[in-house]
Amino acid sequence: MTDELDAVLEMHDELIARRGVEIWIGAEPTFTRADSVEPAWTNAAEGDDKLARAHALANHLADMLPGASTQRVLGRQFPGEDQPRFAFGVRWNDVACDSVAPRANVDDEPVPPPTDLATDRWLTVAPDPGVVEVNMAPCATLRAFAHHAFQVWDAAALAGLSATRFRFNGDVTDSGGGGQITLGGSRPEASPFIRYPHVLPALVRYVNNHPSLSYWFASECVGSASQGPRPDEGARERWDELGVALDWLERLADRGELAPDQMQLALAPLLVDSAGNSHRAELNIEKLWNAHIPVHGPRHGKMGVVEFRAVRMPERPAMLVALAALLRSIVARLVVSDYREPLVDWHDELHDRFALPQALHRDLRHVLGDLDEHGLGVPAQLRRELEAWRAPEIMCRLGDATLGLRPALEFWPLVGDVASQERSAARWVDASTQRWELTLDGHGPDRVAVNGKWVQLRTVGDSVRTIGVRRRVYQPSPGLHPGLPVTDPLVVEWAWAGRAQRVELWAWQPGGGPYSGLPRDEQDAFERRQQRIQVTTRDGEVTAQGYRRESRPFTIDLRRDET
């Protein structure tokens, strides 16, 4: 971690401290073996060399912490699994010497997690489908959190694990396990959500009003089938009741009558996924003040903790630190200034306009501006790290006009009766649809041609014009629409100032045929991505055969127009 970043984080911590607000931060980064397609590193919880690499990660991390010890502990046991999963615990004390404490052997007999952690710190390294998960120890400051995160990434690299992996076509994707962030206090009663009862209802409203918080940092799988769906992506009846619940809780908070258990009981049935599971909600409050979760080592239900789950695993720790700073600032802003904006019923706009990075970026700027106005702004260096959460544009130029092409969000549906994850480690979604955003800012035409037909661009603000284009990139099995053809390549044509350009975006190897294997390294992956983008420029104009039908104001769907 650089001295410059360290100084920025210290300044941000001071900003929060001046408000007299205590907000501890935790996270659950996940790592995979990028060179493997074995089930343990794609979709299974255990197997292959996952145990050995998790053991190595825990011990490497312990080497970086003062006087740390490791031990093998009992992991979680999920329905349908014969026995508890493996887990390793790392225990240390910061007021401790640098002497080497005992290390666990990979084949040690598992023991229950410790309960005597009054002053010691504790983290676990455990398996999840396709990944190894590090449950970081909560930190009182952003600076301490950042140091801890950089140590975790370094330990993972020493164990041969990565935060990202490559697809066969060279695309870079995250580890596949998410990177959730938790917010709370040094003890349950000190949590901002317990100490200031109006804050959690306000946070629900704030996230609803700003879809960028739900989607800008999320993984590829977003929407109702994701691991962190919004309340308005679930059952309509629950969404209708959420506003009633928030109004009632806020009235109780105003009168000083809102108890933590009442807040838990009121919101837990409404902040859930499509199967009614409160663990897999965008805002997970199952450990806020839940009397139904028994004490299990250092963890129990009454922790004053809120987990933000709409987070993919970032490729570098600075990105996670920037998001932690943003969420911490939002909570502090809600503490110092009340927020009672009505819930917005976005209807189709949620999965139409806000599928586009341009719309999300504009909304995120509003969030950052709101924090600035309340004296809790995110420093410029961290804002640059927030920008990095979405893929950069492919820039094409004709004269003084620039066409940007960027991957957009797609909302993949569940396949069949698999809404609940309680009976299996993973859920099937139809991931065969891909969405791209086409954008012109300032100079340039108001229309482009997509696979031979005109498409009208839509204004999203100022002089920015954009449209989302959906296409099928492979035929899934199992999946929806059996036999529906693939559209590859996606062809975008546009003209300006007497020049025309044709852009071909291939999902897979141009001309067809399989890849020889996973990319060997980053350079090989880059070359495969470059091969899939073909641009030709000539004098003249573009001709097209009529206009494409719009499925929604900001989206055209090639699957509907080319069957």
State the Cα–Cα distance between residues 108 and 99, nearest whole angstrom: 22
pLDDT of 409 reads 97
Distances (CA, A) of 479 to 82, 220, 512: 30, 17, 22
Per-residue pLDDT tens over the stretch 189-227: 999 999 999 999 999 999 999 999 999 999 999 999 888
Environment class of 530 (CB within 10 Å of its CB; exposed 0-12, middle 13-18, buried 19+): exposed
Residue 269 pLDDT: 94
**Residue 489: is the preceding peptide bond cis (ω within 30°)?**
yes
What does residue 425 show for φ and ψ, rounded to 5 degrees?
-80, -20
First to last CA, the chain: 53
Do the Cβ atoms of 415 and 428 come closer than 8 Å?
A: yes
Pairwise CA distance, residues 232 & 281, whole Å: 11
pLDDT at 420 (0 to 100):
52
Tokens of 462: 């100022």
- Summarize pLDDT for 463-473 with one digit per residue, the tens: 899 999 999 99
On the 0-12 / 13-18 / 19+ scale of CB atoms within 10 A, 239 is middle
Higher-pLDDT residue of 549 and 20 is: 20
Checking if the pLDDT of 480 tops 80, the result is yes
- Tell me how far apart the alpha carbons of residues 317 and 146 are, in angstroms, rounded to a whole number: 7
Query: Which helix (H) or strand (E) covers residue 494, if one does?
Result: strand 490-496
Average pLDDT over residues 289-295: 77
Question: Bigger pLDDT: 563 or 9?
Answer: 9
In the prediction, which pLDDT does 563 show?
42
Q: Which residues contact 531 (CB under 8 A, 6 or more apart)?
A: 170, 506, 509, 510
Give the tokens for residue 280. Answer: 């897999």
Instruction: Kindly report, residue by residue over 485-526, the tens digit of the pLDDT.
Output: 999 999 999 999 999 999 999 999 998 889 999 999 999 999
Burial-class residue 35 by CB neighbours within 10 Å (0-12, 13-18, 19+). Answer: middle
CA atoms within 13 A on the CB side of 472: 17
Q: Cβ distance 113 to 71 under 8 Å? A: no
> What pLDDT is stored for residue 423 in this prediction?
55
Peptide bond before 478: cis, by omega within 30 degrees of 0? yes
User: Does residue 462 carry a pLDDT above 80?
Assistant: yes
The structural architecture, per CATH, of the domain 3-32+130-225+281-340+349-387 is 2-Layer Sandwich (3.30)
DSSP H helices, 176-277, are 192-195, 199-209, 212-215, 236-254, 260-267
User: What 8-state DSSP symbol labels residue 498?
Assistant: T
Mean residue pLDDT of the chain comes to 93
Asked if the model's pLDDT at residue 97 lies above 80, the reply is: no
pLDDT above 80 (res 426) = no
The answer on pLDDT for 427 being more than 90 is no
Provide the strand spans (E) within 327-474. Answer: 394-398, 401-407, 433-441, 447-450, 453-456, 458-461, 464-472
* Token duo for residue 174: 């995250």
pLDDT of 295-327, one tens digit each? 655 567 889 999 999 999 999 999 999 999 999
Bridge-based pairing of strands 453-456 and 447-450 is antiparallel
- Where in the chain are the domains? 3-32+130-225+281-340+349-387, 40-129, 394-561
pLDDT over threshold 60, residue 418? no
> Residue 277's pLDDT is what?
84
Task: Give residue 152's pLDDT.
Answer: 98
- Helix (H) / strand (E) containing 134: strand 131-135
Q: Are 304 and 288 in contact (CB under 8 A)?
A: yes
State pLDDT tens for residues 130-186: 999 999 999 999 999 999 999 999 999 999 999 999 999 999 999 988 889 999 999
pLDDT, residue 140, reads 97
Is the CB of residue 34 less than 8 Å from the CB of residue 315?
no
